[in-house]
Structure 1
Amino acid sequence: MAVEVVMPKLGMSMKEGTVSVWNKEVGETVNKGESIASINSEKIEMEIESPAEGTILDIKVSEGEGVPPGTVICYIGEGNEQVEEKKERDIQSKSKKERKKISPVARKMANSANLDIDTLVGTGPGGRITKEDVLHALPEREEKKQEEKKQEEKKQNETEHQPINMMRKTIASRMMESLQTSAQLTITLKADVTQLTNLQQQLNETAIARYDTKLTITDFVAKAAILSLLEHPAMNSQYHNGVVETFENVHLGIAAALDNGLAVPVIQHAERLTLIELAKSIKLYGQKAREGKLLHDEIQGSTFTLTNLGAYGVEHFTPILNPPEAGILGVGTMYDTPVYREDELCKGTILPLSLTFDHRVLDGAPASAFLSTVKAHLEEPISTLL
Structure 2
Amino acid sequence: KKHLAFVQQVLDSAVAEKAVAGASCLVFQGGKEQGYFDSGMADIARGKKFRRDTICRMYSMTKPVTSAAVWSLVEEGRLELGDELSRYLPEFAGMQVCDGWKVGSAARAMTIRDLLNMTSGLSYGGAQDEAHRQTSLLLDEMNAAVGGDAPITTQDFVRRLAAVPLGFEPGTDYEYGLSADVLGAVVEKVTGMSYGEYLRIRFFEPLGMEDTAFFVPAEKRDRLAEEYARTADGELAVYDRPNLGVAYRAEKSPVFESGGAGLLSTADDYMKFCRMLLSGGRFGRKQILKERTVQHLRTQHISAAVQRCFDARMPHLSGYSYGSLCRILVEPAQSRMLGSAGEFGWDGWLGTFMLVDPANDLALVYLMQRTDCGLTPMSCRIKNIVYAAL
Greater radius of gyration (CA) = 1
- TM-score normalized by structure 1? 0.23
Q: Which has the higher strand share?
A: 1
Larger RCO, structure (CA 8 Å, separation 6 or more): 2
- TM-score normalized by structure 2? 0.23
